[in-house]
Amino acid sequence: MIRSKRVWPRIVAHADMDAFYAAIEQLDDPTLRGRPVLVGAPSHRGVVLTASYEARPYGVGSAMPMARAGRMCPDAVIVSPRFDRYQEVSATIMEVFSKFSPDVEALSLDEAFLDMTGSEQLFGEPESMGRQLKSAIRDATGLTASVGLSATKYVAKVASACRKPDGLTVVPPEDAKAWLAPLPVSRLWGAGPKTQIRLHNLGLYTIGDVARTDVRVLSAKLGSAGRHFHTLAQAEDPRPVIGRRSSKSIGSEHTLDQDVHAKADVKRHLHLSAEAIGRRLRRKNCVAFGVGIKLKTAGFQIITRQHRLNEPTDFAEAIYSVGVRLLDNVDDPGSVPPGRDGCIRLGRKRRACAARALWHGAPATPSRSGDRSTRRALWYERRALCQRSQQAGRNALGAHT
């Protein structure tokens, strides 16, 4: 493993599950373990979606006609795909990824980029980040992943593929260009079979050959792709990891058994909601950027109010106090009899009271430059805090056993 001499400008991890569909089939059916497995429709017109690593030495792989693969690897067990199960495992993996970085860019069901810049305090040096990521995936799913870490998406992705299965490859930024140089041009992103032939016709076989070629020559021969390949060959790739930017919300709603007349009662329910939300935020290592309430009245009217927070939080009391202020600002919706000033009447057996909190990445977050690093720093700070309190809890439990 290569050790880095300098601080990395960015730390990008790429994680990709090994023989994803086939590995799940082997996990769920122990009789398939250690055997060549082809996942795909068993019909003669079907194609192989993936092959287990035991089948790959026979030359079979994704997109190959099943009939041909069956001839090349006659001992292979052909298994029909179970897409629901693959989706389920994918969701687990993405959940694991979300514990390692606030910016996770999923590329498919089984692979993602994670921007881990600034996470050294929590996970140590890049190699240790990779080891922890791999073991967290294994613990959560029983499956192996291969992980690459470098300072760019491109190099991280090439790195994750180079020691499959169960690989871990760390390429420090200062070594990245030399590390790429001996690799074939097929490893250049966007260089399909036709482009590879064109590169070969120019006498370019390795990424190092492309790096050494004048960018004007590459542009003249291959257009904008030529410039793109030249940039990649220098191990340059400024593209950021694009995490999910959509607003996520965590909510807690109660359907009440009885009408609630007094605002104090509504507040009690609001408090329960705020506590539940605070717990869930902390468990997900998220902070709320806003709080909202939703009330349903006896007249089936739905009233919502929201407020953007100056300081993001995961504390139940902070969420509750904003919820209470929002509630106090709700005029009586008119369904309560006179004399019960300030009451809100909530419909019997209706969802009645909710506090809703937005977590990181909410569109409400301003997009000024610098926000990304502030948001990321805050995320890792919270994550470390959460980890410490979990550890303290485990220690306390240990002390009592």
Angle (deg, nearest 10), helices 83-97 and 126-141: 140
Residue 62 interacts with, from Mg ion, ligand DCP, none (CB under 5-8 Å by kind): ligand DCP
Least Cβ distance, residue 91 to ligand DCP (angstroms): 15
Residue 164 interacts with, from ligand DCP, Mg ion, none (CB under 5-8 Å by kind): ligand DCP
Contact set for Mg ion, span 12-51 (CB under 5 A): 16-17, 20
**What's the gap between Cα 87 and its chain centre?**
14
Which residue among the candidates 111, 120, 127, 275 is catalytic per the annotation? 111
CA distance 384 to 364: 25
The structure tokens listed for 129 are 């980040």
Least Cβ distance, residue 3 to ligand DCP (angstroms): 27
Q: Which residues of this chain interact with ligand DCP, rule CB under 6 A?
A: 16-21, 49-50, 62-63, 110-111, 164-165
Q: What amino acid occupies position 84?
A: D
Residues forming beta bridges with residue 79, ordered by sequence position? 39
Active site residue 111: yes
Contact set for Mg ion, span 141-180 (CB under 5 A): none
Nearer to Mg ion, 22 or 346 (CB): 22
Nearer to Mg ion, 8 or 20 (CB): 20
CA distance 31 to 29: 5
CA distance 332 to 167: 62
Nearer to Mg ion, 117 or 144 (CB): 144
110 is a site residue for Mg ion (CB under 5 A):
yes
User: Which residue intervals of 142-206 are DSSP H helices?
Assistant: 153-161, 176-180, 193-201
DSSP code, position 58: G
Residue 117 interacts with, from Mg ion, ligand DCP, none (CB under 5-8 Å by kind): none
Helix, coil or strand: residue 249: strand
Least Cβ distance, residue 79 to ligand DCP (angstroms): 12
Residue 319 interacts with, from Mg ion, ligand DCP, none (CB under 5-8 Å by kind): none
DSSP code, position 113: E
Nearest Cα residue to 287 out of 326, 325, 244, 316: 316
The structure tokens listed for 182 are 């001996």
The span of 11-19, 98-106, 186-194, 210-218 binding Mg ion (CB under 5 A) equals 11-19
Binding site for Mg ion (CB under 5 A): 16-17, 20, 110
**Residues designated catalytic:** 111
